Every structure is written in C-alpha cells, then in structure tokens.
Structure 1
Amino acid sequence: MTDQTQHAPLAPARRARVLAALHRDGVVRISELIDSLGVAPVTLRRDLAEMEREGLLRRVHGGAVTVQAPPARRGAPAQGAAPAAGDDGGAIAVLVPSLNYYWPGVVRGMEAEAQRLGLKLLLRGASYELQDERPVLERLITSEDIRGLIVAPNTDTAHTADVVQWLADAPIPAVLVERDAISLPGHEPMESVTTDHALGAGLAARHLAATGHREVGLVLSRFSPTSRKIAAGWHAACTELGLNNPPELDAFLPDRASPEFSDTVNATLDAALAKGVTGLLVHSDPEAMAVIDLALIRGISVPGDLSVVAYDDEVAQLFSPALTAVSPPRHAVGEAAVDLLAKRLANPDRPVHRVALSPELNVRASTAAAPGA
C-alpha cells in the first residue's frame, strides 16, 4: 500500500471536496482530483458514477460538471442513448482551420447531423497559421454552454502536443476531425473521425497502373497535414504495383502565393520529362490545376502526354479538362464526428472510437492510357 493511499480521504470527505470544487468552478477534472485527493482513478470514477446516480453532478469525458439540465422528463432518451431529433441536447463547438476550402463540406455534414440529433452547433474558424488553439478553446468552453468539442488542430507547430493534451484533459469530451493523435502519459488514442487518405492515394496509384502507367510521380502541398498520409499510401501502393516513382518526383510545393511556386512546378515538370513520367498524383485540386496550366503552356498534352489525378475533388470537375480526382467523404466525416460526440455525451464510459471513412475515385478527362500502352 502506497503512502498516498494510506492518507487518502474517506468517501464522505472525497464527496464533500468534489462538490465544493463543483460549486466553486462548475467543473472538476479527474487528473486534478487524483492529485488533490490522492486516490486511484478507478476509485474516483466510482465516486463520480455514484454521485451522478444521485443527481449531484453530470459526468463528462475527463471529469464532471454541475447539473444544469432539468430532471429527465417522461419519454426522454434512456441513459446511453443519443438525443432524439428535436430534443434540446445542448450545444457543441466546432473549431476548424478554414471555412473556405475543404471544410465547408465537412461542416455541412455536421450541421445536418446536429439538427437531426437536436444539438446546436457553434462554429469557429481558425487558420493554419494559428500556432496555439488553446486560448480560442478556453474562451469557447467558458463563455458558452458547450457540452462537447469537435476540433481539427494544427499538427505542425511547437504547441501541437500541448493542444492535444488540453483536449484530453478538458472537462467536456472532444472529437478530432481529419486528425488523429494520442494523449500522454499513457499514449491513449484520442477519439477521432478521419478519411483514410492512404487508401485514397492507393486508389490513384491503382487507376494509373490499370491504364498502363509505369513511371509516376507525387506532388504534394507542403503545408497540408494530409500530405504525410497521402505519401505513405502512395509509396506503399507503388511498391505493391511495381510502379517506378523516382525520389526526385516526390515534390513538395510551397504556398501558391509565394514567388517560388511557379519555379517549383516547372522544376517538377522538368524532372518528370527527364524521367519519362506519364502519370502524377497532385494534392490538392488548386495545385493540380496549376501543374496542368504550366504543362499546357509548355506544350505538354494533358492527358495525352501526362495524366494527372487530383486529390480532394473540391473543384476538380469544374476545371478544363475535368480532373480525375480522389474524393474524401467530407459530408459523411462531419456527420460521423457529431454522431461520435453525441454518443460520448450519452455514455461517458464507452470505449474510445476511432472512425476511418473510405474515399472514392472519380475518373474524368485528365487521365487516359499511358502513351504507347
């Protein structure tokens, strides 16, 4: 028996201290209570479950909050069930890095599912340049009656691990969308809904292989957190299919507004011509359009000389030629994120769920049989 356990307060004293903290702060975090009360997590969770049954608090992911909702009315959903359509299930906050590209489709899926479940949606847009989302998240959960969070944090900053840990320790549950991560110290996975982008890249590779392309290349947006997953799936599929993907054809494009963007695209096209490459996967749609524009200016026929598959399918079909594109299920991702959060709210003790949805390939005019195939 540890010295900490020997000096832990008895159950009535623990309950009194938990209720005092709730009265003072409105929320309690399990991680903080473990330190202050000196009890095992399983003991504390048992205490909170008993207090919830007595109507003294409401358990949430990572802790508990004061009871604000009225007593369950006749015909209300049973414990563990998601709110039914039309029920006042409270509000959930959504923080995504953009409201212009890709994310509007995800948000529309969230809105549809939230309306079906009787949940209110509070939307906030950050940016890929925001280094630390914690101040925004703190304001959200302290200034609004928020029951849960859906977040797509920036994954390439010095604060990434801190933001993920903040979400793991928050007094309300959080679901990551198009991101996956672990929390410390136990390396527990965070609840998440993602597109299987590696699978999507594999779909592109298989399409090019099926149309006779053997020399292929990959062009990625340097600043996208999706790029690493696309690269992993692409390289695995190329190896499996026996496609030749020269290392110099793994190009990372700078921001489209930067002065070196066109030079980088032209250097990529030079390398493709030198290596006899006839097929490219380009993330994302605007980058694919830029690659094709510069190729056509140089007299490279698309798809006659070079087939191009875009990744995202946000505006791909509007281009000329219409782009063959990998299409992530954006609307379904948004629906699944809200559904996952609603189920967590209804049952805080359910196992952590990580949902991966499959994209699809839409074949259009920017790809054709390889020259000579």
Structure 2
Amino acid sequence: MNEALLPQERHERILAEVRRRRSVRAAELAALLGVSGMTVRRDIGHLAERGLLSRVHGGAAVLAAQKAAAAEPAEVVVGMVSPSTAFYFPDMIRGAQSALAAAGGRLVLQVSRYDEQEQWRQARAMVDAGARGLLLTPAPGTVMRDWARGLGVPCVVLERQVNGLDLSEVDSVRSDHAAGAARAVAHLAGLGHRGVALLAVDTPTRPGILEGHAQAVAALGLSAAPVLAVSQDERAEAVSALIEECARTGVTAALVHSDQDAALLLQRLRSHGCVVPRDFAVVSYDDEVAALADPPLTAVAPPKAHLGRCAAELLLAHLRNPAAPVRHVRMVPRLIVRSSCGASPVSAAGAGSARVGSRRSPGSTGRTGPGG
C-alpha cells in the first residue's frame, strides 16, 4: 500500500482519472494509487462534499454539469520550458503536471539546456501550437518582460528571482533560499557550533544561500567562518580547501551546496580521520541524494513539487481571470534532519531547537576542526 501519498496528491489523481474516464470504480482507483479501498472511499466522499465529483455506488463519476461541458473542446494546454530534466527539476515538472491534470489540462514540456535563444524558440513554438500559457525556468539574465510582451500569453516564472520592471509583468513562484540557508545555520548554532562554514557552487541558487548564511551568522552572533563561493570547475578543490580552512580556524560545522559536494566532503573528512558527526557537522543544500550519503546528510529541501503545483495553479487562475493582479510567491524550504549533524531526526518545525545527541561538543575531542 502506498499510503505515503499526500491527500492532495491522491485527490488530484482521482479527479484526473474521473475526468478522463467519466466514471471509475473505487477498487480501480485503489489499485491505481496503491492505497486501501477505505482510503479511496474517504477521498471520494471528501471530493463529493466539495462539489468536484459525484459519488456513485461503487465509485465516482463526473458531475452532470461537467458531462455537459465535455462536449466542448476545452482542454487547456500549458507549455513548460525547463533547463533540464535531471536532479532538481523532475519534481517541479511532476507537480505542475499533477495540478494541470486535476483541472483537466495538459502539460507540454521542452528542455532548453540553459540556452537563452533555444528557450525563446521553444516557448514561441508551443504558443504557436496552441499553448494557452507558459511555465518558465529561464536561463539566468533573461529579461522576462520581453517574454511576456512578445509571447502574448500569461507566463509564470519558476524558481527564479524577478527584479525591476519584470516584477510588474509576470507571476513567479520560487524558493526562499535565503530563509532555507538561515534555517540550516540556526540549526547548527542550536547544536552548539559557534561558527558555520559555507561552500556554495555557482548556480542560480547560490546568491540566496550566501545572503541567508550571512544574515543568520550576524543575527546569531556567530564567529567568523570560511565562506567559499566557487565555480563548477573548482568544486573538488574547494572541498579540500574548506577542510583546511576549518582546521585552521577551529570551525566544526559547514553548510554545503550541493548534495554531491557535501557527500564528497564526508569522504574527505573520513580520510583525514575526522568522524562525522562527532568531530564535524555537515548540512547539505538541495536534498536530491542527501539521504543516500554515509552518514545520511541533514539537508535543506526546497519544496520542488509544491513549486510546480503552485505555478500551474497561478497560471490557471490567471487564465480564468486575466485581470487578476500579478503575484510573486516565495516558499521556505524544509530542514530535514538526519545523522550528519549529530541531532536526532526531528520535524522541520522544531529543527532549530534540536539538541546535541551522542555527538561530542565542538572541540571536545582535542581537534581544532577537520584534520586538525
């Protein structure tokens, strides 16, 4: 049984299946979702109470008004331009697809590979083919007001900060990476670390991480700690440099963007005879493969699926009401506590107040930091 599906996700998939087939048996929905028949019947009852479907003997069906509307060719096609389908982006794509399917719409995807000219060509082609709106994660530096005026359809920008004139032209949904980084620093400070180093690789996420780290260090009165902002080509050398700087300064904790670099840090610390989390605490940023590290990495997890779902819902709302105001939504990432920081797993809400578990206090082993 897949009872781990969130209720909203189950509801969206039930509505999508009912709209597609016009009626469906509860047993079929249970098999499709991998949940119990009781769970499906409860979900059907909830959706019926909200007026989203009809509850019939043994299952669910579309409402009479929806049957009448089905004769109209009303499918809403939305285009999505994503720079990649690897790592960070699949969950955002699935979130958008889920929300559109629940509303009877369809998502069409193109992958730009961060090419500014290619992303424009792909967006233009989808609009020409009938897309009613666009979900866009543009290459850094793209001027969004030009897109909004040139394409002639509503646009929602995903996981990019819009500034200046762009603010008045397009809706946007993004993670508050500054808040996510600050949450990680506060968590480590709560475990007793008086300095938190930072390694951040050059991505569109990095400016927010740098900002949040600096703000939290100042607000919490932490000691100065190494901050390494490096290019993609420098990441392996930067991990070694971080270890050396932390050993020199006595810093015993670090926030590392991204998961791959945090996992490499764990390996290099082990080769220096440093035990994580006893001698050094690590938090990664992204939570793509953090749980697979040894030890599993505490991680800041941007709400990727929620971002995609919210962006699709914003676009649908704008299509229903073109006079709706432009909106900019920011979501605060979760902190998922695992073994690498020395705290017992706790909920994200209580992460900042977690206490040291079996990990010794910083410096109690006689080390001044990793490799010291």
What is the TM-score normalised by the length of structure 2?
0.70
Change (3 A) 1:128 1:205: same
Aligned to 1:136: 122
8 Å Cα contact 2:127-2:151 kept in structure 1: no
Larger radius of gyration: 1
8 Å Cα contact 2:201-2:235 kept in structure 1: no
Q: Aligned residue pairs: how many?
A: 282
Q: 2:170 aligns with which of 187, 190, 202?
A: 190
- Kindly provide the CA deviation profile for residues 46-96 of structure 1, in whole angstroms up to 9, marking residues without a partner as x: xxxxxxxxxxxxxxxxxxxxxxxxxxxx947xxxxxx99x98332001111
Aligned to 1:226: 205
Aligned to 2:307: 333
Instruction: Report how far residue 136 of structure 1 moved.
Output: 2.4
Instruction: Report how far residue 168 of structure 1 moved.
Output: 4.4
Looking at structure 1, the residues matched to 230 and 273 of structure 2 have their Cα atoms a distance apart, in angstroms, of 22
Q: 2:272 aligns with which of 287, 298, 310?
A: 298
- Where does 1:65-80 land on structure 2 (aligned, <5 Å)? 75=65
The one-letter amino acid paired with 1:135 is R
Aligned to 1:154: 139
Instruction: Report how far residue 138 of structure 1 moved.
Output: 1.9
Aligned to 2:180: 200
Instruction: Report how far residue 131 of structure 1 moved.
Output: 6.2
Q: 2:82 aligns with which of 85, 92, 96?
A: 96
1:254 counterpart = 2:231 = yes
Following TM superposition, where does structure 1 have runs of at least 4 consecutive aligned residues deviating by more than 3 angstroms? 86-89, 128-132
Give the SS at the match of 1:303.
coil
8 Å Cα contact 2:266-2:294 kept in structure 1: no
- Where does 1:302-317 land on structure 2 (aligned, <5 Å)? 302-317=276-291
- Kindly provide the CA deviation profile for residues 276-296 of structure 1, in whole angstroms up to 9, marking residues without a partner as x: 111101111111111221221
Aligned to 1:353: 327
- Provide the identity percentage: 34
**RMSD of the TM alignment (CA)?**
2.5
The one-letter amino acid paired with 1:94 is M
Looking at structure 1, the residues matched to 116 and 277 of structure 2 have their Cα atoms a distance apart, in angstroms, of 39
1:285 counterpart = 2:270 = no
The gaps in structure 2 that reach 5 residues or longer are 1-63, 343-355, 365-372
Change (3 A) 1:329 1:300: same
The one-letter amino acid paired with 1:212 is G
- Kindly provide the CA deviation profile for residues 115-172 of structure 1, in whole angstroms up to 9, marking residues without a partner as x: 1011110011222355662222222222x1100000011115xxx22x5522344210
Looking at structure 1, the residues matched to 211 and 85 of structure 2 have their Cα atoms a distance apart, in angstroms, of 27
Aligned to 1:210: 190
1:371 counterpart = 2:357 = no
8 Å Cα contact 1:168-1:174 kept in structure 2: no
The gaps in structure 1 that reach 5 residues or longer are 1-73, 77-82
Instruction: Report how far residue 187 of structure 1 moved.
Output: 5.8
Looking at structure 2, the residues matched to 326 and 350 of structure 1 have their Cα atoms a distance apart, in angstroms, of 33
The one-letter amino acid paired with 1:175 is V
Higher share of residues assigned helix: 2
- Kindly provide the CA deviation profile for residues 294-341 of structure 1, in whole angstroms up to 9, marking residues without a partner as x: 221222221122100011111111111000001111111111000000
Looking at structure 1, the residues matched to 74 and 101 of structure 2 have their Cα atoms a distance apart, in angstroms, of 10
8 Å Cα contact 1:87-1:119 kept in structure 2: no
The one-letter amino acid paired with 2:227 is D
1:342 counterpart = 2:319 = no
Looking at structure 2, the residues matched to 130 and 290 of structure 1 have their Cα atoms a distance apart, in angstroms, of 32
Looking at structure 2, the residues matched to 165 and 129 of structure 1 have their Cα atoms a distance apart, in angstroms, of 16
Instruction: Report how far residue 196 of structure 1 moved.
Output: 1.4
Give the SS at the match of 2:275.
coil
Looking at structure 2, the residues matched to 231 and 141 of structure 1 have their Cα atoms a distance apart, in angstroms, of 37
Give the SS at the match of 2:193.
coil
What is the TM-score normalised by the length of structure 1?
0.70
Aligned to 1:64: none
Looking at structure 2, the residues matched to 132 and 126 of structure 1 have their Cα atoms a distance apart, in angstroms, of 6
The one-letter amino acid paired with 2:179 is L
1:116 counterpart = 2:97 = no
The one-letter amino acid paired with 2:134 is L
Change (3 A) 1:167 1:292: farther
Looking at structure 2, the residues matched to 357 and 216 of structure 1 have their Cα atoms a distance apart, in angstroms, of 24
Give the SS at the match of 1:366.
helix
- Kindly provide the CA deviation profile for residues 208-247 of structure 1, in whole angstroms up to 9, marking residues without a partner as x: 011000011111111x10110111111111111111233x
Instruction: Report how far residue 189 of structure 1 moved.
Output: 5.3
Looking at structure 2, the residues matched to 165 and 251 of structure 1 have their Cα atoms a distance apart, in angstroms, of 35
Aligned to 1:8: none
The one-letter amino acid paired with 1:176 is V
Looking at structure 1, the residues matched to 173 and 214 of structure 2 have their Cα atoms a distance apart, in angstroms, of 24
